Amino acid sequence: MFALQRIEETETIREPVWQDLALCNDGRGSMTELFFSEQLDDIAAAKAFCGGCPVREECLDVVRSLVGELASYVQAQADADVDQAPVIIESSGFSIRAASTRRKLGFVVKQGRVSGTAIVEVLAVAKRASYEHRWSADGGKTWNPAGVTLQTKMTIRGLPVGVSVLFTCRPCTKSGEGDWMEPYPFLVK
């Protein structure tokens, strides 16, 4: 009786999730080889298998979201390195905007050393200017102030991880604030 009571106290009750119903979720990973195979007949077999899955739509939503984020990440990498852009786009397999036009970037964004941070470096340096930074996690609908600095490099902290964040900045001089630069998407890790 006492032992049963202890078990009941320590047992954690978990809310069911859609993954519990996934046809491929047999707890042994027995489908992994088939799903990662590059053989055409295996790909056809995997597609047929997924066709009978009761949570196919939920699974597809996750895949679409991941593919969208990956495409944004590839685009950002290509934009940051215009010389390597054709190679980056070609090797990614994504049909994203060709970066052949050598767009003049006002700034670039790199991953910071700590998760949830990014380093913004201003390339279009203005004379005797400070730089005001901001970021958006909803495609530019709302912007979060990230501070003002006299340096051309700034580390922005507290960013949402795994999200494609838009960054922008503008110079501020004695004569006033300049225009916000073209926003730059970057997948924060």
CA pair distance 125, 134, nearest whole angstrom? 17
Quote the tokens at residue 16. 């069911």
CA pair distance 184, 162, nearest whole angstrom? 16
CA pair distance 5, 145, nearest whole angstrom? 52
Out of 23, 96, 163, 172, name the contact with ligand SF4 by CB under 6 A. 23
Size of the site for ligand SF4 (CB under 6 A): 8
Shortest gap between Cβ of 23 and ligand SF4 (angstroms)? 4
- Site residues for ligand SF4, window 27-56 (CB under 6 A)? 50, 53, 55-56
Out of 34, 42, 45, 59, name the contact with ligand SF4 by CB under 6 A. 59
Shortest gap between Cβ of 74 and ligand SF4 (angstroms)? 23
- Site residues for ligand SF4, window 121-180 (CB under 6 A)? none
Contact range with ligand SF4 by CB under 6 A, out of 6-14, 18-26, 79-87, 167-175: 18-26
Query: Is 19 strand, coil or helix?
Result: helix
- Give the contacts of 70 (CB within 8 A, at least 6 positions apart): 92, 94, 187
**What sign for the dihedral angle of Cα 35, 27, 65, 51?**
positive
Q: Which residues bind ligand SF4 (CB under 6 A)?
A: 22-24, 50, 53, 55-56, 59
